[in-house]
Amino acid sequence: MRWNKFRLKTTTEAEDLVSSMLMDLGIEGVEIEDKVPLTQADKEQMFVDILPQIESDDGIAYLSFYLEEEVDKEEMLAKVRDEFEAMRAYANVGEGTIEESQTEDLDWVNNWKQYFHQFYVDDILIIPSWEEVKPEDEDKMIIHIDPGTAFGTGMHETTQLCIRQLKKHVTKETRILDVGCGSGILGMLALKFGAAYSVGTDLDPCAIDATYENMEVNGITRDQYEVMIGNIIDDKEVQDKVGYDKYDIVVANILADVLVPLTPVILNQLKKGGIYITSGIIDDKEDTVVEAVKAAGLEVLEVTYQGEWVSVTARKNF
């Protein structure tokens, strides 16, 4: 099916009012584009590899909405323009121009797969679930991964930095906690390296399903791991469920702005002698994370780099 797409130019201060107006007219699923800076709360909800680079707020917002081909677009657009003009009496709604284009009804969840192919991280072959293992690779350590709508294919530098640190520190007694587990790839690799047990937490329900599916396809059984939803930074219930003084390794491949408040909290989960592996750190945030780690009383063991990304590995000595 083809859809008519309309992109309405307004102001950031009026975007909520204009969105409400569009919904009142029967238009659903409005997309908002603006340059409003992320709040600290927004950042703490983004357990992802890369923080979006957002320019300074210019006061402009674009609201996109879609109409099916059979809808009388001229009639609907006339209503939108009339309501928009009426709003000028009490709000700074801005320009009000509308750009029109057409788009196909695509399978956005699966369409990205054409860009994800098998690759190596050192001697580990990571292969999407829809590709076949070549005969010459059958003797390698092979990880089948399908992130679905969760983050974490292993392709990003931050994930690879964590993988190398896990390979260095995992033993057969290791209990690992992965904060912001995404697709489950780090916990899964720790188990493949010989760890005894893995616990993952994430804010995104999609991460739970993705982790279950990826663990199963890699032959890892439910008695070897668990995953749970919640923010360990400020949710006591999640902290209690995860447990205290019981992890040999905590890994957090998230963002510097999340690592800073996470670090003093995660001390409670680490055993004495436990290893804390962090990444998701853009190079100009290295000092921020190192200072937070030291302020928490941890000993910095190693700082490693790949591209413009940094991983900080530390130990709890108390």
C-alpha dist (Å) from residue 197 to 54, 170, 190: 39, 11, 9
Residue 171 marked in a binding site: no
146 close to 210: Cβ distance less than 8 angstroms? yes
| Two tokens, residue 246 | 């019981």
Give dist(CA 305, CA 94) in Å, integer: 45
101-112 burial, b for 16+ CB within 10 Å, e for fewer? Answer: eeeeeeeeeeee
Residue 243 marked in a binding site: no
φ/ψ region of 180 (left if φ > 0, alpha if ψ in -120 to 50, else beta) reads left
> Where do we find the tokens 């931050």?
158
Residue 178 marked in a binding site: no
Q: Which residues make Cβ contacts (< 8 Å) with residue 286, sequence separation at least 6?
A: 303, 310, 312
Element (H, E) at 82: helix 73-87
230 close to 205: Cβ distance less than 8 angstroms? no
The CA angle 167-142-183, to the nearest 5 degrees, is 75
C-alpha dist (Å) from residue 122 to 72, 125, 142, 154: 57, 8, 12, 12
Amino acid at 131: E
Residue 221 marked in a binding site: no
Binding-site positions: 159, 180, 202, 253
Binding-site positions for S-adenosyl-L-methionine: 159, 180, 202, 253
